[in-house]
Structure formats: C-alpha cells, structure tokens
C-alpha cells in the first residue's frame, strides 16, 4: 500500500462540482492500494501517516507529526500510484487491487483515521475527483508499506 503525503496549507476535493472534503493546514495523502494489501497493511500505513514528522518544531526542524500539531488529514484514493511504468508508453495496473478490495481497504483506513484523529476528510473511491492543494514547502513523501514491514 502506498501513501503519497503532501504537507499542505489547504486542500480540497470536489466531485461533480460539489465539495466532498477539505482541510486547512495538514496532510493530503493519496492512497494507492495493491492487490496483495490487507487490513493489517492498511492499519500500518495509517500509523505511519499519523506519526510521520513533517511539521516544523520551534527550532524550524521537521520534527512534529500531523497528530502532534492537530492538523487536518485529507485521504484521497488514487489507484494510479500503483502503476507499473517500467516499460512502454502506457502504464500497467496489474498490481492494483480489484475495485472491491480497494474500496474495502480505503474504507478501513478512513474509519480507523476517524477513530483516532480529530480532523479527517476524504475523497470518494472510484469516481472522478478534482483535487486542489497548496503544497507547503513543497514537502512531499512517498510511504510504502508491505506485509514484510
């Protein structure tokens, strides 16, 4: 499972012109789900996201997590993160989870996030979304969790 974290000053998601999720300062996380992923892997990715230190402390060092600063978390499903781009001019999605598994695991991450973090918003699985963000830094990190982690 992949989480592409972007530290943002603000971010939002619209579906069919309607706002479905937004945050001010926080993390926008695009979530890519692979066919071998499980609920345990989803839980581990969420723990890494919530604990990843990307916000500045009093010394200006990236030493605080989204939990530490009480910032927002916007989770957006994005199956293209798991694309295999090693060959050719067209991505392969052979490693992507089925829509059913992807929907189930994204819902699992969202439920867990809302249970343990105060400000959580989300995109909608399986639909065309328009995502807007103001990246702060820019700061972007790729987190990948597998069964071996």
Single out the catalytic residue among 6, 25, 30, 79.
79
6 part of the active site: no
Determine which one of 80, 85, 93, 130 is catalytic.
80
Number of neighbours of residue 104 by Cβ within 10 angstroms: 16
List the structure tokens of 111: 């439920």
Q: Identify whether 93 is a catalytic site residue.
A: no
Catalytic residue, chosen from 6, 25, 78, 125, is: 78
Structure tokens at 56: 């500045």
Nearest to 107 by CA among 122, 117, 94, 96: 122
Q: Are 11 and 22 in contact (CB under 8 A)?
A: yes
Q: Is 78 a catalytic residue?
A: yes
Q: Give dist(CA 137, CA 60) in Å, integer.
A: 12
CA pair distance 10, 120, nearest whole angstrom: 13
User: Which residues are the active-site residues?
Assistant: 78-80
């Amino acid at each position: 499972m992949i989480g592409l974290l972007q530290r943002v000053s603000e971010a939002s998601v619209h579906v069919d012109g309607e706002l479905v999720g937004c945050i001010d300062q926080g993390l926008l996380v695009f979530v890519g789900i692979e066919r071998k992923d499980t609920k345990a892997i989803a839980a581990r990715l969420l723990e890494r996201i919530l604990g990843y230190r990307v916000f500045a402390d009093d010394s200006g060092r990236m030493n605080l997590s989204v939990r530490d600063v009480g910032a927002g978390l916007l989770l957006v499903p994005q199956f293209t993160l798991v694309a295999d781009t090693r060959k050719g001019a067209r991505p392969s999605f052979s490693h992507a989870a089925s829509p059913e598994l992807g929907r189930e695991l994204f819902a699992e991450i969202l439920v867990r996030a809302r249970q343990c973090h105060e400000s959580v918003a989300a995109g909608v699985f399986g639909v065309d979304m328009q995502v807007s963000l103001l990246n702060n830094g820019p700061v972007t990190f790729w987190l990948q969790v597998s069964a071996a982690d």
